[in-house]
Amino acid sequence: MVISTDFSVAIAGAGLSGLCLAQYLVRAGIDAHVYERDLGPFVRRQGYRLILDRYGLEALRESLPVPLYRLALATSDEPGGHLRFTDSRLRDAFTITFKQEQHTTRQVDRLTLRSILQSGLDGRVHYGKAAVGVDSGGPGRLRLRFSDGGAATVSVVVGADGVRSALRAQLMPDANPVNTPMAGIYGRSPLRQNGRSIIPEALRTSGVLAIANEPGRAFFFTSMRFGESPREAFARLAPGVFPPTGDDYVMWGLLLRQAEVPMNVRGDLPGLREMATQMTADFHPLVRRLVGTAELDTVVLNLFAAGQRPRRWAVPRATMMGDAVHAMPPFGAHGGNTALRDAALLGRRLVDALTDGTPLEAAIAGYQDEMVSYAFDAVDDAARLMRRLTGNAAAPHWVLTRVLPRLHRVTVPEA
């Protein structure tokens, strides 16, 4: 479909949702540009994997040209389907097995997905452009302003600038996210070390949440194996686009209380890794090895926040998507899926409006109503799961760490 019109869209933020929306719109023949604060696509490693559920996958299928969607699938893997809850010495308490039909969830490497989402958007993704505000650009036009004094004048502005959005205070003035007490120090470590997988066969298809003796602290890890080597899959399906990464890895996260992370360590990668080392000193040797072999530039601190339902959208023809609206703690793997779902939904509403003559304001309001409904269900789910897994309730914690592990065999001997 090619829509010939002077309609144009400016998207702030080249993350998952911003790039996905750009793909959707450009594929439909709409003039869309993405403005990203970072100086380049891979200045931050953001080295972790994402589990995409049926909403995330469907959004990608709808938005991407077929070869790029195939590329996302080819480089992804089955997520495994088991989440083991253990004590800090990796003694099983219990295991959840997800009843998923095959191919309804995939795990993808985030950097690889971002690279796929940028493919074909040549000249439409502008780096070093930090959005700072929106104002009127004349009849039916808005101006997205940047910190360097520049601006883009367009028909519609979309804020997809993530959890610390610069546009949120203006576009959704009553919906600043609230902080939670919890945080995560994340990292990634090579899966194969000295020619062998660091993860024992018994855990090959499992994510593991090892709960510490102190309430409010736990360690999560899971392996990311590429279905097909990104180098080969990119050469076959997106020649000329280079994959940013390729080696299988283990993604891990130490969950802890925000109050435990001193201010002077928050932006200091060696300091964060040292904290993770100290706080996992009593954990199973496998956990200590994962932290000890983490690639330093992938270590990141995430302070968990939860979005609040917006009640007022202050600038007609400007809207928002993804974490900028509905930040959520990373429990339940909803954040990225919901962000991708927003992008496909907004894309569909805009394209439909241009084809059937629905006023743009009505199309955008329809998107906002539908998005707020499913997205804040996901925020509530994620916040509930976080409270359940990291809460202070003494009895469940005692059962998880002291009673159940004694009833099960040791899955990973401490050799």
Amino acid at 74: A
Residue 4, helix vs strand vs coil: coil
Is residue 249 a contact point for ligand FAD (CB under 6 A)? no
Cβ partners under 8 Å of residue 331, min gap 6: 382, 383, 385, 386, 389
CB 343 within 8 A of CB 17: yes
Q: With CB under 6 A, what is the number of residues at the site for ligand FAD?
A: 34
* Tokens describing residue 259: 């109050």
Closer to ligand FAD at the Cβ: 59 or 74? 59
Half-sphere exposure (Cβ direction) of 381: Cα atoms closer than 13 Å: 13
Cβ partners under 8 Å of residue 378, min gap 6: 326, 328, 332, 334, 335, 337, 338
Residue 344, helix vs strand vs coil: helix
Is residue 170 a contact point for ligand FAD (CB under 6 A)? no
Closer to ligand FAD at the Cβ: 131 or 212? 131
* First vs last C-alpha separation in the chain: 61
Is residue 83 a contact point for ligand FAD (CB under 6 A)? no
Smallest separation (angstroms) from ligand FAD to the CB of 329 = 9
- Taking CB atoms, the residue at the shortest distance from ligand FAD is 15
Is residue 75 a contact point for ligand FAD (CB under 6 A)? no
Smallest separation (angstroms) from ligand FAD to the CB of 264 = 22
Is residue 176 a contact point for ligand FAD (CB under 6 A)? no
Is residue 310 a contact point for ligand FAD (CB under 6 A)? no
Using only C-alpha atoms, what is the Rg of the chain?
A: 22
CA distance 210 to 254: 10
Closer to ligand FAD at the Cβ: 322 or 405? 322
Binding test (CB under 6 A) with ligand FAD, winner from 166, 199, 208, 224? 166
- CA proximity to 378, closest of 310, 332, 319, 312: 332
Smallest separation (angstroms) from ligand FAD to the CB of 159 = 8
User: Nearest 5°: phi and psi at 125?
Assistant: -110, 120
* x/- letters, 114..153, toward ligand FAD (CB under 6 A): ----------------xx----------------------
Give, as ranges, the residues between 32 and 61 that touch ligand FAD (CB under 6 A). 35-38, 48, 50-51, 56
Give me the residues paired with residue 33 across strands.
Answer: 10
CB 238 within 8 A of CB 283: no
Cβ partners under 8 Å of residue 52, min gap 6: 60, 76, 105, 106, 107, 108, 336, 337, 340
Instruction: Identify which range of 29-37, 59-67, 207-215, 305-313 contacts ligand FAD by CB under 6 A.
Output: 29-37
| Residue 275 DSSP symbol | H
Smallest separation (angstroms) from ligand FAD to the CB of 46 = 8
Is residue 217 a contact point for ligand FAD (CB under 6 A)? no
Burial status of residue 321 (CB atoms within 10 A of its CB: 0-12, 13-18, 19 or more): buried
Binding test (CB under 6 A) with ligand FAD, winner from 87, 92, 109, 323? 323
Binding test (CB under 6 A) with ligand FAD, winner from 280, 337, 390, 401? 337
Give, as ranges, the residues between 180 and 209 that touch ligand FAD (CB under 6 A). 186
CA distance 332 to 225: 20
Is residue 109 a contact point for ligand FAD (CB under 6 A)? no
Instruction: Identify which range of 168-176, 329-337, 347-355, 394-402 contacts ligand FAD by CB under 6 A.
Output: 329-337
Is residue 12 a contact point for ligand FAD (CB under 6 A)? yes
Instruction: Identify which range of 198-206, 326-334, 348-356, 380-388 contacts ligand FAD by CB under 6 A.
Output: 326-334
Is residue 244 a contact point for ligand FAD (CB under 6 A)? no
Is residue 161 a contact point for ligand FAD (CB under 6 A)? yes
Is residue 215 a contact point for ligand FAD (CB under 6 A)? no
Instruction: Identify which range of 24-32, 158-166, 346-354, 406-414 contacts ligand FAD by CB under 6 A.
Output: 158-166
Torsion, Cα of 171, 174, 176, 180 (10° steps): -160
Measured CA to CA in angstroms, residue 64 lies from 36, 78, 205 at distances of 20, 21, 29
Binding site for ligand FAD (CB under 6 A): 12-18, 35-38, 48, 50-51, 56, 130-131, 160-162, 166, 186, 253, 302, 322-324, 330, 333-337, 339
